[in-house]
Amino acid sequence: MAVKQRFDHRHILSLEDLSEADICLILQTAESLKEISERSIKKVPTLRGKTVVNFFFEPSTRTRLSFEIAAKRMSADTFNISASTSSIQKGETLIDTARNIMAMNPDVIIVRHSCAGVPGILADNIDASVINAGDGIHEHPSQCLLDMMTVRQKKGKIDGLTVAIVGDISHSRVAHSNIIGFSKMGAKVRVCGPSTMIPIGIEEMGAKVYGSLEEAIDGVDVVMALRIQKERQKDPLIPSFREYSRFFGITKRNIGAAKPDALIMHPGPMNRGVELDPDLADGPRSVILDQVTNGVAVRMALLYLILGGD
Amino acid sequence: MTGKAPMTSFQKMRGGDASLDAPLLFKNGRIIDPANRLDLNGDLFIENGRISWVRPSDKESSTVPDDTRTIDLDGRWILPGFIDMHVHLREPGEEYKETIESGSKSAAAGGFCGVACMPNTIPVNDCEAVTSFIKARARNGYCRVYPVGAISKGGKGEALAEFGEMRTAGAVAVSDDGRPVSDSQLMRRALEYCACHNLLLISHSEDLNLSRNGVMNEGPLSTKMGLRGIPRSAEEVMVYRDLSLAEFAKRPVHIAHVSTRESVSLIRRAKAGGCPVTAETAPHYFTLTEDAVEGYNTRAKMSPPLRTGDDVEAIREGLRDGTIDAIATDHAPHSDFEKDVEFEFAANGIIGLETAIPLALALVRDEIFNVTRLVELLSLNPARILGVEGGSLSPGSRADVTVIDPDTEFVYTKEEVVSKSRNSPFLGSELKGRAVLTIVGGRITFCGEEFQR
């Protein structure tokens, strides 16, 4: 389809808000900006004078670094604020904190928070653009966009592919964004994991649920493994990593069911040997590090499009 | 206001020097009194704080004393005083949300002559001293206040609170509302122990292990919104436990704020089997669905959470067929700064006293039930279940009367709110029908926009 030229979103809150044309424009822009990171002098003046604030309420290494590098490569000034949600909760409210930051007149606020919906609250209450860098178990749009960019690079398309996402679907914002995003771009999305990790109504978001790993990855073009945690907030989800990896770990043996050229993806950080066999993670079909590289390009594209760079 | 002329203001009604305790004659009202199987157009006379007589309009009026204030109601409805058997008045301890004074004022504005206030104050109402404090404060209020004591000391769910002493100080029931009793043995003993002090046990049925971390109804919408869900089972397994204990102990239990289809079914079946159970639901559970939460709207966050259209339908049916005995608001005031936060951190609950009448009347207009049933749900049954005076317009009974105009239309705005808190999902809604007069013991406590203690 033709790539539309105008991007009319001020905020990136959810994949739900983006049309197929928006996504194409983001990916196309990311492709063209990717080259900047390959130069010896990795900097362009495009966003000079713009202020980007990384507002992270949850620990994050790669997402924050990725956004920071993306902003700096385009010459924006970046600032990082880390806060634990609990200390915020006791003192200043979220909206007060945001208004204080807003009083310093930043252009973009990139927010990660343990509560779903926080990027929307900020967008409603401040004048800056807001990018959701992960909100609770809701969404992680930039991760989905970099995953789609990676798949499109390797496969030349997204439409018509079949993607299997394996792991804790209930508590994965990456899975939620990817189900919406890949479905929107014409891919078929399968999800698979222990039944304690499959949420009610996931089919309504566009995913097909598989109980057995072998069936889930049978003939697929992409296998995406998610990071596994044994329990979340005292909620027992699986008895042990050992049992999980026996039934749901992606291994050299069971990957045979997927297409021979199937991509292996992981949003990181990885539990080697639990959800993914280390040999596969480091093998020729793995695109895990391409995902990280593309992450910078996608985030550059988001900042560029949001700040109306022309 | 549509149709009728505005209600006479307080000043006019006082009619010069007429004292507030002067006899009251209501003329030309529709008098609905299920306890006496009455639904007629007529007059009602109140003298010395009691209902003196009720008679059809076409009959010759008997003479009334000279200082009588006469109010022509022009067809508005005269009903036995409404009683809300489930509110949170927040005093002592959280007076910034509500006080007994402001909460009782909100009740009067909503047409309630009496409210039963839940024990989860700070400190918890778990002893005679706190119950007495509430009763003392209530003397300065705009409606009757019936304290509900805690089931366990400190609301901790470990040891029985002193039911007998709280009863002596004026408690009418005990409850674990807001802090559910997980220990089934404690619940059993509480039910049994209620017997010797003639107290009702009101159960907030919730399995905390199942609801833990949840912030909305569990289903496709919670999945889509990325919010942790509270399954219906969290309510239903405890409803079943409480029914089973009540059946075994042969002691009445009252199930608070029923929110799911299966809870309604369980209660219906238990009643059919002779189990001594009564139940209430709140207007939001028969009006709203979980969709109200969309957009991370904390004004629709409550416990139990709003459910689905299917549950709403079952609750309406339960109200109609008698499975659910009462409408109670679960009036739960919270300040703006406790609601204008992340959805997961927002306080549970909404205010409800001022919107109960229009929301219940909507079901009458939808022909879910008739006006007689409405009065049973809001007056007669709550009085009977709590074992307090009221619920009828029988001559000689205490003159607690609610007069409503079923046709008046209004928009419920922030400025309209009488409660100290404004956490209502109905702000901005167009509502139809409201109280125009609230009479407690023969005295008008609310009239249009004016209040009198």
pLDDT, tens digit only, all 453 positions of chain B: 444 555 555 545 544 445 667 899 999 999 999 999 999 999 999 999 999 999 998 777 678 898 999 999 999 999 999 999 999 999 999 999 999 999 999 999 999 999 999 999 999 999 999 999 999 999 989 999 999 999 999 999 999 999 999 999 999 999 999 889 999 999 999 999 999 999 999 999 999 999 988 999 999 999 999 999 999 999 999 999 999 999 999 999 999 999 999 999 999 999 999 999 999 999 999 999 999 999 999 999 999 999 999 999 999 999 999 999 999 999 999 999 999 999 999 999 999 999 999 999 999 999 999 999 999 999 999 999 999 999 999 999 999 999 999 999 999 999 999 999 999 999 999 999 999 999 999 999 999 878 988
Cis peptide preceding B406, ω within 30 of 0: no
CA atoms within 13 A on the CB side of B65: 14
Closest CA to A197 of A234, A157, A228, A241: A228
- Sort A119 into a burial class: Cβ within 10 Å, 0-12 / 13-18 / 19+: buried
Closest CA to B180 of B338, B343, B303: B303
CB distance A199 to A170 below 8 Å: yes
To the nearest whole angstrom, how far is the Cα of A40 from the nearest Cα of chain B? Answer: 41
B223–A200: do the CB atoms touch at under 8 Å? yes
Give CA separation, B55 vs B25, B40, B83, in Å.
11, 8, 24
User: B416-440: string of b/e by CB count within 10 Å (b at 16+)?
Assistant: bbbbbbbbbbbbeeebbbbbbbbbb
Closest CA to A120 of B393, B204, B227, B433: B227
Closest CA to B251 of B334, B171, B321, B195: B195
CB distance B131 to B171 below 8 Å: yes
CB distance A298 to A30 below 8 Å: yes
ipTM greater than 0.85: yes
A138–B222: do the CB atoms touch at under 8 Å? no
B376 secondary structure, DSSP code: I
B213–A233: do the CB atoms touch at under 8 Å? yes
Chain B positions touching A143 (Cβ under 8 A) are: none
Q: In chain B, which segments carry CATH 3.20.20.140? A: 81-386
Token pair for B340: 């204008």
B341 secondary structure, DSSP code: S
From the candidates B342, B343, B345, which should be mutated to test the interface with A, based on the most A CB atoms within 10 A? B342
- The question of whether B330 is a catalytic residue gets the answer yes
From the candidates A13, A14, A55, A138, which should be mutated to test the interface with B, based on the most B CB atoms within 10 A? A138
Q: What pLDDT is recorded for position B407?
A: 97
- Sort A106 into a burial class: Cβ within 10 Å, 0-12 / 13-18 / 19+: buried
Closest CA to B438 of B421, B420, B451, B424: B451
Type of residue at A78: T
Would you tell me which CATH number, out of the four given (3.40.640.10, 3.20.20.140, 3.30.9.10, 3.40.50.300), belongs to the domain B81-386?
3.20.20.140
Closest CA to B172 of B181, B163, B161: B163
Beta strands in B207-276 (DSSP E): 216-217, 229-230, 253-255
Q: What pLDDT is recorded for position A61?
A: 84
Chain B positions touching A117 (Cβ under 8 A) are: 225-227, 296, 342-343
Q: What pLDDT is recorded for position A219?
A: 97
Token pair for A140: 């992680």
CB distance B163 to B199 below 8 Å: yes
- Give CA–CA dist B112/A96, Å, rounded: 38
Name the residue in chain B with its Cα closest to that of A119: B342
Question: pTM value?
Answer: 0.93
CB distance B111 to B445 below 8 Å: no
B224–A201: do the CB atoms touch at under 8 Å? yes
Three-state DSSP class for residue B129: helix
Catalytic residue among B330, B366, B400, B405: B330
A116–B343: do the CB atoms touch at under 8 Å? yes
To the nearest whole angstrom, how far is the Cα of A233 from the nearest Cα of chain B? Answer: 8
A94–B228: do the CB atoms touch at under 8 Å? no
- The question of whether A266 is a catalytic residue gets the answer no
To the nearest whole angstrom, how far is the Cα of A118 from the nearest Cα of chain B? Answer: 6
- Give CA–CA dist A257/A240, Å, rounded: 25
- The top-level CATH class assigned to B10-79+395-451 is mainly beta
CB distance B173 to B200 below 8 Å: yes
How much of chain A, in percent, has pLDDT values that exceed 70?
95
- The question of whether A39 is a catalytic residue gets the answer no
Q: What pLDDT is recorded for position B63?
A: 82
Q: What pLDDT is recorded for position A87?
A: 52
Q: In chain B, which segments carry CATH 2.30.40.10? A: 10-79+395-451
Q: How many CB atoms lie within 10 A of CB B384?
A: 18
Which of B218, B223, B344 is the closest to A202 by Cβ? B223
In the predicted structure, residue A85 carries a pLDDT above the cut 60: no
Chain A positions touching B300 (Cβ under 8 A) are: none
Name the residue in chain A with its Cα closest to that of B219: A200
Inter-chain contacts counted by CB atoms under 8 A, chains A and B: 74
A121–B342: do the CB atoms touch at under 8 Å? yes
In the predicted structure, residue A91 carries a pLDDT above the cut 80: no
